[in-house]
Structure 1
Amino acid sequence: MGSLDIAEVPLRSAHAAGVEGAVAAGARKPRHYRLSGARGGCVMGVKKIFRPEPTFWDRMYLPEIARGLGITFRHLWQSLVRPESMPTYQYPEQRRPVAERFRGRHRLRRRPDGSPKCVACYCCETICPTHAIRIVAEESENPEIEKRPRSFQIDMLRCIYCGMCVEACPKDAIYMIQDYELADKTRERLRYGLDRLLDPEVSEGEG
């Protein structure tokens, strides 16, 4: 098979390509280059772009380092002159204020008789996106209540504090307080059971 003669049709700028690099918008008129092959050749429009070489100061990075240090020292001077503008809390003497609807530690409400208000319906365990809640149900001694939790565990290391368990609870048995001091020494202690989840005070009404 002889060589193929293809009409010189310049490609659009979005499709043109070459060894020199990508096509820049508004560059010069396309030049045609013939790419030879074993059986023939093809023609494609190629635009050259010229990338400027980095200067000596660009390679040294000194201007950017000086700019970053300038920003750091400017904030340092402002903090020394106006210490009241510093967003620093002297923890633990001064605790950071949180929003009224802040989602922190979980709590389970109690009934007037002291039993958990939870009815072990598994709604919170089912809706939890990180599967941080584990419930084991048992029959309740109260004839008006079908089930109660024999064990109720929340893994605080897996919890993302989204509040979906609070919204899903049909009995309003679980809620979240503003306590965010959850650090502990072992992982086991961050798996809260009924002994740490139950509210120390009883709730008003059966619910």
Structure 2
Amino acid sequence: MIHGSIDLIEERCTSCMICARECPTWCITLTSHQEQTVPAPGARPRTHNVLDTFSIDWSLCMYCGVCIEQCPTDALVWGGAHVPSADRLVDLLHDREQLAPDAPRG
């Protein structure tokens, strides 16, 4: 497997923050909010996290794979394409749309 980029499979992400906490360079940032689920009759209400934002700063990333290894839901996976170089640092900050497995690289 080529370790060129990291893809986010958004529907698997539970916003647990493990990837951001375990990253040695703190290149991952995410925000979320809690929503209450409608319980089945007789059950108590439950809350779950909903992902609002997710980004990776490729100017900081070491491509070590710690975030991928630590993700309990396999929401982060190695992507095949390398992250293209950029003339500006701000262009190396990719959000969740750019981290989708089917997003164009470059």
TM-score using structure 1 length: 0.42
The answer as to 2:90 corresponding to 1:188 is: yes
1: distance between equivalents of 2:58 and 2:26? Answer: 11
Which 10-residue stretch deviates more, 183-192 or 154-163? 183-192
- Map 1:156-195 to 2 at 5 A: 156-195=58-97
Query: Alignment partner of 2:9: what SS?
Result: strand
Match in the other structure for 1:73: none
Q: Relative to structure 1, is the Cα distance of residues 181 and 169 closer, same or farther in structure 2, using a 3 angstrom cutoff?
A: closer
How many residues of Structure 1 are paired with residues of Structure 2 in the alignment? 96
The list of structure 1 runs, each at least 4 consecutive aligned residues, that deviate by more than 3 angstroms after superposition, is 140-145
Match in the other structure for 1:124: 19
2: distance between equivalents of 1:104 and 1:149? Answer: 24
- Map 1:37-76 to 2 at 5 A: none
Which has the bigger relative contact order, CA under 8 A and spacing at least 6?
2
Q: How far did 1:148 drift?
A: 2.1
Alpha-carbon displacement from aligned partner over 1:12-48 (angstroms, at most 9, x marks no partner): xxxxxxxxxxxxxxxxxxxxxxxxxxxxxxxxxxxxx
Query: Alignment partner of 1:189: what SS?
Result: helix
Preserved contact between residue 86 and residue 92 of structure 2 (Cα < 8 Å): yes
TM-score using structure 2 length: 0.78
Match in the other structure for 2:41: none
Unmatched segments (≥5 aa) in structure 2: 39-45
Q: Relative to structure 1, is the Cα distance of residues 140 and 199 closer, same or farther in structure 2, using a 3 angstrom cutoff?
A: farther
2: distance between equivalents of 1:157 and 1:185? Answer: 11
Alpha-carbon displacement from aligned partner over 1:86-126 (angstroms, at most 9, x marks no partner): xxxxxxxxxxxxxxx2211111114xxxxx32111000001
The answer as to 2:101 corresponding to 1:199 is: yes
Q: Higher strand share goes to which structure?
A: 2
Q: Relative to structure 1, is the Cα distance of residues 141 and 106 closer, same or farther in structure 2, using a 3 angstrom cutoff?
A: farther
One-letter amino acid of the counterpart of residue 104, structure 1: G
